[in-house]
Structure formats: C-alpha cells, structure tokens
Structure 1
Amino acid sequence: MMYCKLSFITMVCWMFACKGAFVHSDQNHQELSSYPSDDAKQMPNDDISFDDTIASLDDNLAAVEQMEEEKYVHARDTNSKYGADDDPLIVRTKNGRVRGLTQTAATGKVVDTWYGIPYAKKPIGQLRFRKPIPIDKWDSVDPNFILNATKPPNSCIQNIDTLFGDFAGADMWNPNSPLSEDCLYLNVVVPKPRPKNCTVLVWIFGGGFYSGTSTLEVYDPKILASQENVIIVSMQYRVTSLGFLYFGTPDAPGNVGLFDQLMGLQWVHDNIAAFGGDPENITLFGESAGAVSVSLHLLSPLSRRLFRQAIMESGSPTAPWAVISREESIRRGLLLAKLLGCPHSPNSIPLVVDCLRNVNASVLVREEWVTHGVCDFPFVPVVDGEFLTCHPKDCVRNRDFKNASLIMGSNSEEGYYFILYFLTDLLRNEEDIRITRQDFLHAVGQLNPDMNELAKQAIIFEYTDWMSPDDPVKNRDALDKMVGDHHFTCNVNEFAHAYAEAGNNVYMYFFNHRSSHNLWPSWAGVLHADEINYVFGEALNPKKRYLPAEIDLSKRMMRYWSNFAKNG
C-alpha cells in the first residue's frame, strides 16, 4: 500500500522533461515545445489575440453549418461493388477496399474519415471470451466489393450508467452507438490534403475495463487531426467479463480485451501507410484504463514492436486496480457463474465457461459487479504468461519494458469522481458538501474495506490536517487525495520515475484547470478525465463557447501531444 503527498508546482499545465533521472525542480524544467522543429511544429504564439481567435472561429461557423448537411455527400448507404480506384475516399487495405467520407471539423477544417473498419472476426457464439481471430479478406469472393466505412461502429456490450439520471456530466461517458458483442472495429481520421508518412496517434479509451467506447463525442478526433496534421486511429475493444474473464483455458484465457487492442495495433501497423500514415511513427495514447492499456503494451513482449512511444493520462500498470492475480480473477469468475445459476465449481471450468457463453450478454454484464471497494473494477487484466509475462511491479523493477519516450500526468482531484459513485449518500452531486470528523473516519473504512486496522490508522494519520482536524472542508478534500493518490497519482509518478531512471525521456504534466464547462459541483475541482476535452480540442468548437484562455490552453496541449508524437 503506497500513499504519497504531492509536491507538484501548481499551474494550469506544468510539464518537465528528464533523461536518466526524475526531475523535481524548476531548474531542470523543459517544455515539450523545445524540440527542434519547423514553424509548423512550433507552440501557438503567446501573443495571440483571444479576440482575433474568437473572430476567426466565428467567421468559420457559418461555413461549418452550411457544410454540416453535406458532410456525408461522399458516403453510400450500403456496402457497394462499385467505386473507382482513383477515388481518394476508397483505400485498399490488406483485407480489401474501404470507402470513407469527408467531414468538417467544428473549426471549419476538413478531414477524411473511415468509421468501423473491422479488424477481427465477430467475437460471438463460440468465440465469446476467446482471443480475437483475424478477419478474412472481404473481397475474396467478389474482388469488386468495397466495404462501406461511413458510420460509427457498435460499442462493446456494457452497462449503462444511470446513477445520476440524465445529468450530462455523467451521461457524457455512456456509449453513443448501439451495444453489441459484434464490436471489433476501428476508426481512422486523416487530415486534408492527404499526407504522406504522417505521424499516427492511436487512442485507447478508458472506463475501468468495464465501460467505454471510441465513439464518444469528447473523443471526436477531427479537430486534433486537422489542427495538428496528424492521423488519429481509435479502436473498440471488449470490456467487462466479455473482455477479461480468466480461467486459464483456451476458452477463457483472460486479457482478450488487450489481445483485441494488440490485433488492432497490428492492423494499424500493416495498413496505415495506405491512408498516408507512417507505420514506423505510431504513438499510443490513452486515459485511465486506456493509459493502463498503453502501459501494458509497453510491458508486453507481443506489442513492443508495433509503436514508438506512449502518452498515459491518469493511469499506470502499477495502479492497485490495473492487474489482479489469476486466483482472484478465477474467484470472481466463479462467483459470477454462481450469481447467474451456472456451474461454479473450480473442478468444472469447461462447464462453467460453456454456461456463461450461453447467457445473454446484457444479463451477463448486469450481474458482474462482484467487488466492493472503490476503484475495485471486477474484470481486469491478469498476468497470463503470454500477453503479460510478469507482474507490472516486477517488470518495472527488472526494467523489463520497451524503452521509449513517455508523457505521463494526472489531474488535481483524481479521487472525487469515484467517491461520488461509491459514497453516494455522503458526497452528493450538489454544492456545499462538508464532511464531519466522524464521517471522515467512517469513510476511510468504507473506501478501504480490505485493509487492516493498522493500515487504516496510518491513512487517517497521513491525510488528517492536524492543525484543524475537524475542518469539514479539509476532511472532504482529504478523501479525494486519499483515493486519488493511491489509485492514480502515486503510481503514475512511480512508473515515470522508473522509466526516467532507465535512461528514457519522460515528460510529466499536472493538470489543474477547472473548465468553465465542468458540470459537477465546484468543490469537486478538476476531476479524473477533465483534461480530455482539451487534448482533443473541444475548446476550439465555437458552438461550445469556451473561454479565450481555455482555447489557448487546448491549442497548447494539442501542440504538446502532437509535437511529442512527431519528434519523440
């Protein structure tokens, strides 16, 4: 159990770089914009007029609205046999041709998009719980067949969050495309004019391995791709028990959600050149469980050759929720089987899997929350001996990882989001929440149910402000730091430190800007995942009416991320 007190300098987005050592002072501060680069790769001008920025965006708004109705002009409603090879929206992949569409970002810039390209066979029927199988060529029967890739793909089966009703701050993370087990698809967004040997960023979404989808509005890549002239790829992968049930057999090997990602990465490496991308310059980036996934690809001997560097937002493989033991994963799987009325003896695993394979997928995931601690997500990666050959802590200790440049960081209030879902009576979604000393002491036990009394007392001692132990605001904020440090911030720092000591370039950020669009109570501060809107450029959408300083912040973050991807 490791907790830590933060010592970051407080500013909107603070970054430092190090090689061979973990830097702790401003003396060694180095911004990502210090990379040798041409004008196209420079940071936005610090003297830029915010009024000019808004005026320029407003000038584009009318054009954006006019083009909105026409953005699907290049798409066909169904898969087609017809289409000329000189059509730039028809791309020949190793599996066959795909037809995309031209879209306009909210800024008025244009991109070409291919939605829902299949990268594996449908994981249904007997393939449920199994590793993905490469998809067959779709033009093997009819060489004239062209796959229509103009509609967002299905989201993988998961539960819908209804705890806060239609509250937009929570509902924004619910899937916005149909739920289905048939979900192994990826999306490619390419700037126009079509580049050659373009830098590629592959986004892996988060969601605790129990939720998430690449199609969320907050992940819309059109602004980032067009603004920074990079190709953005995003993929669906199986979550919940459908992606992470483990019994150590070919029928339920575990980590199949990670194997989905691996197959998606292999597809990108094999095919992205046809879209104008450079297969030797691929950067993975992800947030939360997506960041954990990225870090596990750094550790996996199967993934390392498929990308060059990585960006991890609020996630590390050494987080306590990131990887569980095989024994614990089997225990959870058998408990799920019991709840569903299936055989649940450890001596009858084939019968257990066969029964679970025939349960309706929606019923399966509805019953699977078999854990009881905060951030204790039920079905997550395991050390399976194939994708993961060592526990992340051991991999890090032995430096058994891909040497690569990294960006890592966390937000100032990482814990509140999860406490809001866990202690629903104590931390309600309303203003002016205060926590008495007695409630604080009780909450420590609720948040850490598996800890012994000595450990709980150590946590209380560490996170109590002993100058004012009864302060209800400080007690409330201590709960956030307790959860955020343990589950996110400390392990991010730990992983970054290990990578830097191995001689790698490690760039860190600390995000503490509370967005003017944040819908949660003001005391919740800068929540887990709040930086995503700025990374993908939502602030540049004039319809959203972000503040001028927020537009500038988003431009800077997009430039930091893309310059890193381009230059390492």
Structure 2
Amino acid sequence: MSSVHLHEELAQTQVRVVVQTRFGPVTGGRSKNGAVVFLELPYALAPERFGNPVSLPSEFRYEGKYYTAESSYAVQPTNDGQAAGGNLEDKVGLGKPTENPLFVNIVAPPSFPERSKFSVKIYIHGGFLQFGSPHGLGSQAQYIAAERSEVWVNIGYRLSVFGFLACDKPRIEGNFGFKDQWMALEWVHDNISAFGGDPENIQITGLSAGAHSVHQLLHHASRLPPGVKAPFTSAVLQSNAILTNPKTPEQLRPQFAALSRALGLDPDATDTLSILRDPAKTSWQSITDLIDSEALGPHGTFRGCMDGAWLSNNPDPMTWQRTGGLARGLLEHGVRNVIIGDLSEEWYLYSIAHPIKQKQDVQKNLERYYPTDIVQNMIELYGSPPDDAEAEEFEKLFGVILSAAQVHLPVRLFHRDLLQEDYPAFRYTIAWTPEQARPNPGFVTHATDRSLWAFRIPELTTAQVEVARTWLNAIDQATQELGLHRPGKRGLKEVLTLKADRQIEWTADESWDDAMKMRKLFPGEL
C-alpha cells in the first residue's frame, strides 16, 4: 500500500483553496491530482464525555488556519486483532488521539470551484465500532473524487466506551457514536453546497461497522416525524448489517459495573458516573488500558443500545424491519434506494478479531455480540471441533459463525425485507479482490475490497484499476435501473457479482442456503 497520506501531499503541493461557509472562510489545499481537500473541519462542538453531541451554533466561526493536517483521531483501544501487524498510522492517520473526533474530511473534484452540483458520497469507517478513523489511508478519497467527479466526505465519530457506553442506573443514554454520525449527516446536508456538493444527492456508505452504522441511520431516518426528510437520499452497506435487536440500557448495566470495578469504583455509588465523566479524575488512557488488557473480558466491546429514543422500541427495530415499516418509512422520508453486499470469504478476517485458542474462547467472544443462549445454539448448529483440536480449527469456527451473523445472514435478511415492500434495492457479492490486498493465505476476505470502492490508484496495478472502474460503473448502472423502479426485475437470490475471474455479471446466489441456515435461531425468524 502507498504510504503517502493526504496530510503529506497537501504539505508538498502548498496550493491553497479558500471556501466561504456559513461559519466563515475555511482554507484547504489541493492534492497532487488536483482534488480539493479540507481535513478535520468540525461539524459539532467538542463533546462532553458520555454526552450527546451539540451542533454548531449560528455564531460559531471556524479558526483562521489551514485545514490540511491529520492532527487527531478518536481515542480507542489498540487490541484490534484484525489490524494486528499493520501500520497504525495507515489505520488512524498521522495525528494524536482525542476525545473530540467530531470532524469531517472533505475531498472535492479537481474541477471545483469552477464546477459544482457534484453528487456527494459520505463514508463511515469500520472497526467493530471500537477502532478506526476517517483518516484511514485506504479510504482517502482524492482518487475516487477525481475519477468520478464526486464530493467525498469521511466522518469522525466517538468509538468504543466513549461512543457506546450505556446504562439505565445510572442513566447513560448511549449511542453517542451513532448520534455523532447523524449530526455529521445534517451538517453535510446543510453545508456541502459550499464545497461543490449537491445536498439533494447524498449517499451514505459504510464498511463493516460503518455498514452497521448505516443500517442504524436508516432505521432512525425511517421514523422521523411526518414531513421531515432524511439528510441523505441513498445508502450502501458494505459487509455488515444489523441482525438482532441490541441490548437495552438495563441489560448493559453489568458492563457499566464491570468498567467501574476495574477502575476501582463502586458502580452503585452516587458519584461514580461523575468521576468517570471527568477527564481530570479518570483519564481516557486508564480506560483504554483496561480494555487492551482484557480486564473487562467480553464486557470490553461496546455497542449500540435500544434506548427507545435514538432506536425506537415500539415496535422493536427488527419487527419494524420485517413488517415493512423500515422500507415504507425510508420512502416516506426521501431515501430512494439501498445497496447491500458481502465478500466470498469474509470468515477469515473475523477469525482473527479476538484471541481464539480453545472451545471456550469461541463462546466467550461470541457473547460480546449475542446472548448466551443464541451463542450456544450457533455453536451447536455449526458443530464444534473436539476439545483437543488445534487452535486453527477453533479460530475458523469462530470466524465462520461471526461472519455469518455479522455479514452473510443480515445482508440477505435486510434485502429480503426491503424487496417484500417493493423497495428499490439490490445486493452484490465480490469473489475477487486485488491479490496484494489479501492477507497471507490469499482469502478474498473482509475489507480487502476497499481499494476498489475508493479507487485507490497507488495500491492497484493498471489492470486492477480497470477492474475497479468497471465495477463502479456496474454499480452505477444497477442503481440507475433501480430508479426506473421495475418491480421483479431482479429476484431475491440474484446478485451483481464480481467473479473470481474478474468478470462482472448478475448470478444466482450459490451461498443462500448456507448463509440462511442460522436464521431460525433468531426471534421472529422461526
């Protein structure tokens, strides 16, 4: 992978571009290919720890500085098994950790500002909601913006405990990272015209946890008040979707208790939450160190919650989706289409997400994401190796189960639930990715398609660039067909496929039966 970051390119070119916004002028730069770049532009005020984001007031003014540096990224743990051995700077950028990652990176085509009204693509990074950054090298957007004349916006949001701690007693609302994302979408809709973007043509995209986030945002958009339009018009979910209702704040109380006790605090004391919220009394490093040390065990993974506000519980999200409320709500609130997909060998990268050495590790780590009874049924369904099997066999079992539950099953269920309401949606699958992007065993696994979607020319050969271009054009064509709204044109088991031989065509879903066999384990899917 090319190791040159936008931060470094902008320092080399020294070409500056000034844009007038409702919050005053901002100065960005041009990358080597001419794309116009603004880095770390705030979309909200600095947040309080475990507090909801606050939008910029009308009197707010941007600093008179160059917005051309990767100076910060969200504080986060470092126990990211999927990124083990990788370059940390390529994952999070060249800056330092901060509890205020509420900023956007904007990349406009080289023809800006002479031209405008470009379509807008918003990218939400992945990382299990625990890791990552909008500065991730593989998603820096100067090449895709120039190739397709699009404005790209990468958004930052709070991660791990800082973004997703929730509890009923004491009251911690949770879902802060998702609320950050929604505020970023609203900021983009209200301000992107200053950067050449068309606010009526905004697509949100996300990889992995970013796709999970997109699914959350779609649910939220579908239940907006009557007459209120969503701040985006379409969505792409890459290799993830929601499978089951998240835990309630009450169910997450043991996680708060585990965190408190690990920090030497009494979870029932009246001042514990205020101590946790105060950076002077509880540093972020003391919290992330606990997570890195696995002192919290399965309580060390922080996710969204069903709070009844951000994510309504009447009816619960999965019932809302299965009974058509989600699809109908999306159309009502201006979301025109959805694209959903996966890769052929997702399991491998999931197999190394957590340390797996024996059978107990499989169950323990699946319980980070799913209830104990469902986890036990998952393992029984797929069959566990003998207790004395090699660690690699348990790793593969874990990867197969987790990738099925995180990706293969939920993307198919979501597609099914949209199509049954005649909602414009299609599904894709990818069976080839650039060989140099794959991990050592050579699997077409999770996230190895990123360079195709971001058109990362430095990481691709000349022939691979043409595959990427053809793939993006095929996605565009299929999306345009959705706009014609021809019911029944593509069936539930038809997928737009990038095949192992690099050819692209609509094919039958050969993995349908295997992907769907877990369905019966989940409420409402019997």
Q: Same fold (TM over 0.5)?
A: yes
* Counterparts in 2 of 1:189 and 1:342: CA distance versus 1, 3 Å: same
Report whether the alignment pairs 1:191 with 2:140. no
1:73 aligned residue: 14
8 A contact 2:215–2:237 mirrored in 1: yes
Q: Is the 8 A contact 1:160 1:174 kept in 2?
A: no
Residue of structure 2 equivalent to 1:507: 426
Separation of aligned partners in 2, 1:177 and 1:560? 37
Greater shift after overlay, 378-387 or 363-372? 363-372
Which residue type is aligned with residue 15 of structure 2?
H
- Is residue 2:299 matched to residue 1:397? no
User: Match of 1:3?
Assistant: none
Q: Which amino acid aligns with 2:323?
A: N
Aligned partner of 2:142 among 209, 214, 222: 222
CA distance in 2, matches of 1:565, 1:264: 25
Structure 1 distance, partners of 2:96, 2:87, is 21
Question: CA–CA distance in 2 between the matches of 1:456 and 1:292?
Answer: 21
Query: Residues of 1 paired with 2:375 and 2:161: CA distance?
Result: 32
Match of 1:99 in 2: 27
Contact 2:73-2:92 within 8 A present in 1 as well: no
Give 2:241's aligned residue.
Answer: 316
Q: Which residue of 2 aligns with 1:366?
A: 289
Q: Give the drift of 1:326.
A: 1.9
Equivalent residue, structure 2, for 1:411: 343
Instruction: Kindly state the Cα deviation for residue 560 of structure 1 after the two structures are TM-superposed.
Output: 4.2
Matched, 1:243 2:168: no
Alignment correspondent of 1:559: 473
Match of 1:117 in 2: 41
Of residues 399, 402, 410, the one that matches 1:483 is 402
d(CA) in 2 for partners of 1:100, 1:453:
49
The 8 Å contact of residues 283 and 308 in structure 1, kept in 2 or not, is answered as: yes
Match of 1:7 in 2: none
Identify the residue that residue 334 of structure 1 maps to in structure 2: 257
- Deviation of residue 93 (structure 1)? 1.7
**Counterpart AA for 1:509:** Y
8 Å Cα contact 2:262/2:296 also seen in 1? no
Q: Secondary structure at the match of 1:417?
A: helix
- 1:422 aligned onto 2:354: yes
Q: What are the within-5 Å matches in structure 2 for residues 264-343 of structure 1?
A: 264-300=184-220, 301-302=223-224, 305-318=230-243, 323-343=246-266
Identity of aligned residues (%): 21
Higher relative contact order (CA closer than 8 Å, sequence separation 6+): 1
* Contact 1:97–1:147 (8 Å) recurs in 2: no
- 1:485 shift after superposition: 1.2
**Could you list the per-position Cα deviations for residues 375-427 of structure 1 after superposition, in whole angstroms to 9, with x for gaps in the alignment?**
x87211111222111333122123232133111111122222232243454xx
1:212 maps to which of 132, 137, 148: 132
Amino acid in structure 1 at the alignment position of 2:54: I
1:519 CA drift (Å): 5.4
**For residue 482 of structure 1, what is the amino acid of its counterpart?**
I
Counterpart position of 2:276: 356
Given that residues 412 and 526 in structure 1 are in contact (C-alpha distance below 8 angstroms), is that contact kept between their aligned partners in structure 2? yes
1:227-258 Cα offsets, whole Å, 9 max, x none, are 00110011110011111111358973111111
Separation of aligned partners in 1, 2:255 and 2:376: 27
Structure 1 pair 262–509 and aligned structure 2 pair: CA distance change class (3 A): same
Q: What CA deviation, in whole Å up to 9, does each residue of 1:352-388 have, x standing for no partner?
A: 2101112101211222467656xx8721111122211
Displacement, 1:186?
0.7
Residue 301 of structure 2: aligned partner: 378
| Distance in 2 separating the partners of 1:161 and 1:443 | 16
Kindly provide the CA deviation profile for residues 109-146 of structure 1, in whole angstroms up to 9, marking residues without a partner as x. 321111111111112xxx21101112345766xx9x74
Do the aligned residues in 2 keep the contact of 1:90 with 1:97 (CA within 8 Å)? yes
From the superposition, tell whether residues 198 and 529 of structure 1 become closer, same or farther in structure 2 (CA, over 3 Å): same
Mean CA deviation greater in 484-493 or 166-175:
166-175
Query: For residue 10 of structure 1, what is the aligned residue in structure 2?
Result: none
CA shift at 1:296, angstroms?
A: 0.9
Query: How many residues are matched?
Result: 448
| TM-score for the superposition, normalised by structure 1 | 0.71
Q: Give, in angstroms, the shift of residue 503 of structure 1.
A: 1.1
Check the 8 A contact 1:173/1:216 in 2, yes or no.
yes
Larger deviation: 553-562 or 161-170? Answer: 161-170
* Ranges in structure 2 where 5+ consecutive residues have no aligned partner: 3-7, 484-526
**Runs of 5+ consecutive residues of structure 1 not aligned to the other structure:** 1-60, 62-66, 76-88, 426-438, 465-469
2:381 aligned partner? 459
- Name the CA distance, whole Å, in 1 between partners of 2:338 and 2:395: 33
Kept in 1, the 8 Å contact 2:139–2:450? The answer is yes
The separation in 1 between residues aligned to 2:365 and 2:127, in whole angstroms, is 19
The residue identity in structure 2 corresponding to 1:455 is: N
Separation in 2, partners of 1:157, 1:330: 23
Q: Secondary structure at the match of 1:342?
A: coil
Q: Name 1:181's counterpart in structure 2.
A: 99
Once residues 391 and 169 of structure 2 are traced to their aligned partners in structure 1, the CA distance between those partners, rounded to angstroms, is 51
> 2:137 is aligned with what amino acid?
E
Q: 1:330 to 1:282 in 2, by over 3 A?
A: same
- Give, in whole Å, the separation in 1 of the partners of 2:85 and 2:375: 37
Normalising by the residue count of structure 2, what TM-score does the alignment of the two structures yield?
Answer: 0.76
Given that residues 259 and 296 in structure 2 are in contact (C-alpha distance below 8 angstroms), is that contact kept between their aligned partners in structure 1? Answer: no
For residue 182 of structure 2, give the secondary structure of its aligned residue in structure 1.
helix
The answer to whether structure 1 residue 526 and structure 2 residue 444 are counterparts is yes
**Equivalents in 2 of 1:327, 1:414: separation in Å?**
33
- The corresponding residue for 1:159 is 77
2:495 corresponds to which residue?
A: none
Instruction: Compare CA radii of gyration and give the structure with the larger one.
Output: 1
In the other structure, the counterpart of 1:497 is: 416
Residue deviations 1:184-218 (CA, integer Å, cap 9, x gap): 11111100212322100011111111111000110
User: Given that residues 299 and 400 in structure 1 are in contact (C-alpha distance below 8 angstroms), is that contact kept between their aligned partners in structure 2?
Assistant: no
Amino acid at match of 1:408: I
